Amino acid sequence: MTDPYAIQPSELDQLPDRDPEETAEWQASLDAVAKAAGPHRAAYLMRRTLERAEGNGVALPKLLETDYVNTIPTAAEPSAPGDEALERRITAWNRWNAAAMVTRGAKHGVGGHIATFASAAWLYETGFNHFFKGKEADGSGDQLYIQGHASPGIYARAFLDGRLTEAHLDNFRQEAGGNGLPSYPHPRRLPWLWEFPTVSMGLGPLSAIYQARFNRYLTARGIKDVSESHVWAFLGDGEMDEPESTAALALASREGLDNLTFVINCNLQRLDGPVRANFKIVQELEAQFRGAGWNVIKSLWGNAWDELFQLDTTGALVRRLREVPDAQVQTYQTRDAAYIREDFFGKDPALVELAKLLSDDKILECFHLSRGGHEASKVYAAYKAAVEHKGGPTVILAQTVKGHTLGAGFASKNANHQMKKLSTDEFKQMRDLLELPIKDSDFIDGVVPYGHPGADSPEVRYLQERRAALGGPAPARRTHALAPLPSAADKTFASFDKGSGSQNVATTMAFVRLVKDLVRDKETGKRWVPIVPDEARTFGMESLFPSLGIYSPKGQTYEPVDRDQLMYYKEAKNGQILNEGITEAGSMADFIAASTSYATHGEAMIPFYIFYSMFGWQRTADQMWQLGDQLGRGFLVGATAGRTTLTGEGLQHADGHSPVIAATNPAALSYDPAFAYEVAAIVKDGIRRMYGEAAPGEDSNVFYYLTVYNEPIPQPAKPAGLGIDEGIVKGLYRFNTAESAGLSPAANAARIQLLGSGTAIHWTLKAQQLLAEEWGVAADVWSATSWTELRRDALDADAALLRGEERVPYVRQALQGAEGPVLAVSDYMRQVPDQIAQWVEQDWSSLGADGFGLSDTRDAARRYFGVDAESIVVAALAQLARRGEVKATAVKEARERYGL
């Protein structure tokens, strides 16, 4: 019979044994234990031996799972400072007011969530009382990513602290009146309180990791020492299903981010039911985080379980806890002692005997109430261990009961995420459980009252004293009175006005050259944060490697293969470039952290994130919304833009729609510049608006999206004349006329206005020439740098008209008096230029690249989509023919001549 424990010969070949006799003795000992005491005892000894080896620094693979018990035993818990009785009363008031707020709002039909904070109350309260550093002390304080559904509890605490009033609580989820509270953490809606917008989607954990990483980046570059700041991310176990939640775990471990702690509220419930009904979410998460190199702390059971574990002399209890699936643990929460005796203890004779030693009350105390996440001492021990751990990030897996203290109708019920209110009787039961001094007579007309012990009560004084000792209120967002950043020298931008002469330059390269000049600026150069997802060479950014360095917490521990080249791959501890791996999501999280540093750390940073335009808004648009929600500032650059400019890559890389998606985001100023001087003018104005002196009525809390192209073309000089820069920023200006282009049209020639954006203007200019030379038509060419900004200006004018104010949209002002119809051309879908059609007084028509992309040459792709110069000519002639300004036969003749 084959020994199942024997090492196979193939393994011995790979692992030569210098002392086979000693190895055999260890194996024999293990076999003896397994035969005498059973395989469970053998497994126990092996786990303990591996833990001892790890503790002694022996290099062994880590255990990915430990027993389903607390990481920190009760005997090893540190004594928590402070007044536990007062903290318990504070938590009781906050539980009450959180539930009251949502219940009172339910009569207006606005919804809200009660059960999440009920489960997580001690996870927050312990942090607020002892750990979370505020912003009034030295440094930047801690950064708190609050679980979105727990927001009522945070509002309740701010009410107790005097930062919110009853009027605020009564306007939870009712913001239109101007005195309301947003449903979830939202800096744009409540900018003095919330720093980070969070609610599910997995964006909170991803952003928290990169925020912790950006803190290290700021310190390493000498911008600001934020080494004392700690990032806390509060998450739900169901939220960890989102792929973004675990997308960057390895980065946090690899870079040793011991300034980061995840607190995962393991109440074993998703929105509609159990998280891992037939499995164990805590064990799964433990293995996932340990495998990624995180320090894992499990806080699963409260003090009531200590007696049970002491009675477990056979290990049967620990085995049973490990095998019971999550959904069954949830069921125990709702069933009586008899059921638990039979279903939990009745599966093992040793447990049957153990249960005989327990009263029904003891069983119910353990299975209904006693969880690690519900006891301050357990939470304090976990938090203390987390902040004292060095060398890597920590995750705390805290088991709780969703709906804890809300009564049997809420606790662990599958529907409790959708349950928005408690009855009067349920509130009275909750009051009695929490021992709150609220009288029956306080319930007027069935309305649950808010509770407050008084501004000078021991609870409020204690709460405020604890926050003062930790550096002020939390959470809190600070809008720092920062001095405007000085603009770079005008010559930096003006150098693009003269054009490139005969040299072919793509606008992508023009942007990179501009940034290269800007980072040299003595005043603001250090504040630029170049971000790129492992495509720097594609975008021609390799020249920045040796001069700026690529940020790495380890520096450069190897000799780069291209060290003998001028533009070698240089990593540095104080490197300026964030050259990420192939992760648009991670790069975007970098951008969010950098773009909001002006508020988080009081340090204005200027990030630019350059990416394949197809892989930005299409893949990470949720994070662009998060960026806008968080009031981020900076430059997003969609490179290799357009549907037809990236030759050979095919439809997966052919962006025909990013400006459409960008237009949906109110914080995004979307531009499609055609020429290098336009890029420079837009960036210059963006720096002024976001970081300098914004004009009256301008919002600085915006970000710019520029599409730039990889098509090398001679860049023209900026046209002479007034208002060009204004037109570039507002979205439209006349680049030339038929006359200024030297085409000498006849005095009575039919005339048309051609509007082009981005790379399409080059085909438009060619069409202008063909129309004049072959068809006798005079065309004026306009550069439409932003269809979206033209539309927004027009919408503002419409809104002003409804208020009784007369205002003419800029697009109508610009085109006023322009003769003939308008034909707009774009390398994007037609709906991009069609955004402004209703505000153009002239006859309107458009061309665009609708449909899927394809692999071919640029010329062939443009012919395929009908946007090349010849197609523009035919479309222009057709438009003029409808007006009777050219012969109808000209359209057919043109199609035949050009092979269309």
Query: Residues 768-798: pLDDT tens digits?
Result: 999 999 999 999 999 999 999 999 999 999 9
Q: What is the pLDDT of residues 747-761, one digit of tens each?
A: 899 999 999 999 999
Q: Which residue has the higher pLDDT, 799 or 106?
A: 799
**Mean local confidence (pLDDT), 427-450:** 94
Q: What is the pLDDT of residues 128-140, one digit of tens each?
A: 999 999 999 888 9
Q: Which two tokens stand for residue 576?
A: 């300026």
**Cross-strand partners of 232:** 144, 261
Q: Taking all residues of the chain, what is their mean pLDDT, rounded to a whole number? A: 93
617 phi and psi angles, rounded to 5 deg: -60, -30
Element (H, E) at 341: helix 337-343
Q: Alpha helix locations (H) across 654-808?
A: 658-663, 676-691, 724-730, 760-775, 787-802
Residue 12 pLDDT > 70, yes or no? no
Residue 581 pLDDT > 50, yes or no? yes
| C-alpha triplet 668, 674, 678: angle, nearest 5° | 70
Element (H, E) at 82: none
Percentage of the chain surpassing pLDDT 70? 98
Cα-only R_g, the chain: 33
Q: What is the pLDDT of residues 612-643, one digit of tens each?
A: 988 888 889 999 999 999 999 999 999 999 99
pLDDT value of residue 411: 82
- CB 763, CB 868: distance < 8 Å: yes
Helix pair 584-595, 203-220: axis angle to 10 deg = 60
Residue pointed to by tokens 């808010």:
450
Handedness of CA 167, 168, 174, 175 (dihedral sign): positive
Residue 3 pLDDT > 80, yes or no? no
- CB 551, CB 576: distance < 8 Å: yes
d(C-alpha 569, C-alpha 726), whole Å = 40
d(C-alpha 795, C-alpha 610), whole Å = 30
CA 51 to chain centroid: 36
pLDDT value of residue 178: 79
pLDDT value of residue 616: 84
- CB 149, CB 113: distance < 8 Å: yes
CA atoms within 13 A on the CB side of 553: 18
Residues in the chain: 900
d(C-alpha 115, C-alpha 407), whole Å = 11
Q: What is the pLDDT of residues 673-689, one digit of tens each?
A: 999 999 999 999 999 99
In sequence order, the 6+-apart residues with CB closer than 8 A to the CB of 648 are 855, 856
Ordered DSSP codes for 161-195: TTSS-HHHHHTBT--TTSS-B-SS--TTTSTTT-S
**Cross-strand partners of 755:** 782, 824
- CB 353, CB 102: distance < 8 Å: no
Helix (H, G, I), strand (E, B) or coil at 756: strand
Helix (H, G, I), strand (E, B) or coil at 695: coil
Residue 63 pLDDT > 90, yes or no? no
Residue 743 pLDDT > 50, yes or no? yes
pLDDT value of residue 262: 98
Residue pointed to by tokens 């007696």:
307
Identify the DSSP state of 368: I
Give the pLDDT band (50/70/90) at residue 6.
Answer: very low
d(C-alpha 369, C-alpha 131), whole Å = 25
- CB 104, CB 449: distance < 8 Å: no
Residue 109 pLDDT > 60, yes or no? yes
Residue 523 pLDDT > 60, yes or no? yes
- CB 116, CB 266: distance < 8 Å: no
Report the side by side order of strands in the sheet with 668-671. Answer: 578-579, 528-532, 606-612, 634-639, 703-707, 668-671
Q: What is the pLDDT of residues 457-491, one digit of tens each?
A: 999 999 999 999 999 999 999 887 788 998 888 99
pLDDT value of residue 647: 78
Q: What is the pLDDT of residues 346-378, one digit of tens each?
A: 999 999 999 999 999 999 999 999 999 999 999
Residue 13 pLDDT > 50, yes or no? no
d(C-alpha 668, C-alpha 787), whole Å = 13
**Mean local confidence (pLDDT), 408-419:** 82
- CB 436, CB 91: distance < 8 Å: no
Helix (H, G, I), strand (E, B) or coil at 638: strand
d(C-alpha 722, C-alpha 735), whole Å = 12
Q: Which two tokens stand for residue 53?
A: 């080896």
